[in-house]
Homo-oligomer: A and B are copies of this chain.
Amino acid sequence: MNKHLHPIHDRFLQRADREHRLMQHSRVLWLTGLSGSGKSTIAQHLERRLYNEGYFPQALDGDNVRAGINNNVDFSDEGRRENIRRIAELSKLYVHSGIITINSFISPTAAIRQMAREIIGETDFIEIYINAPLEVCEARDVKGLYKKARAGEITGFTGIDAPYEPPENPALEIRTDQMSLHDSVRAIFEFIEPVIKYRRG
C-alpha cells in the first residue's frame, strides 16, 4: 500500500475517457428565460430526444436541485446567487463526468449567468435563451405563480417585481410563442449536435 499511496496521476480517469465511453462531447446547455417560457418542458423533451439518439444527458431543474442540494437556500438576492453558484459547480462536475447537462433555471440577471459561465468555463457553457413575451408567460401561468405575484402573495417574482435581463448574445434563442415544442426541441438538437457528436482525436 505505502509504495503507491501517492496517486499515480496518469492512471486517473479523465474526462476524455468518459466522453469516449459515452461517445459524445459533454457540454452544459444553460436554458434561461421567464417562468412559463417553457424551459423545463423543453429540457425534459430534449433529454429524451438526446437519449433516443444515443447520447447520455441529464436535465437539472428545480425538482431535483432545489429539493435536494439547494434545499437550504432562500430567495434573497444572496440566496439566488448561491443557488446558481451551486448549480454551476454541480454542472461542472457533470460535464467533467462526460455528461451533457441541460439546465433550466430562470437565472434572471446577466451577472448571475456570467458567474455560471465563469465557473463552468467558456467552452462548456452554452447559453440558450428560451424567449416568450411576459404576456404570453403570464397568460399560460402553468403554476399559478403570476397570479400570486400580481396579488402580492409572492414578492421578488421575475418579470413582475424583479427584473429579467435578456441575454445579449445567447448561443441560440428559441421563441416559444412562435414555435411548437417539437420544433423548439429540434432546433436545439440540431444546433448542438455538431458540438456533442463524438470525434476521435
Give chain A's interface residues, CB within 8 Å of chain B: 1-2, 4-7, 11-13, 17-18, 21-22, 38, 40-41, 44-45, 47-48, 51, 56-60, 64-65, 68-69, 71-72, 82, 86, 89-90, 92-94, 96-97, 99, 119, 140, 142, 176-177, 179-181, 184
Can you pick out 21 interface pairs between chain A and chain B where the beta carbons lie within 8 Å of each other? A1-B41, A1-B177, A1-B179, A5-B38, A5-B41, A5-B181, A11-B45, A12-B47, A12-B48, A13-B47, A13-B51, A17-B51, A21-B51, A22-B56, A58-B97, A69-B93, A86-B86, A90-B90, A90-B93, A94-B97, A97-B99
CB neighbours of A18 from chain B (8 A): 56
Complex alpha-carbon distance, A142 and B86, angstroms = 30
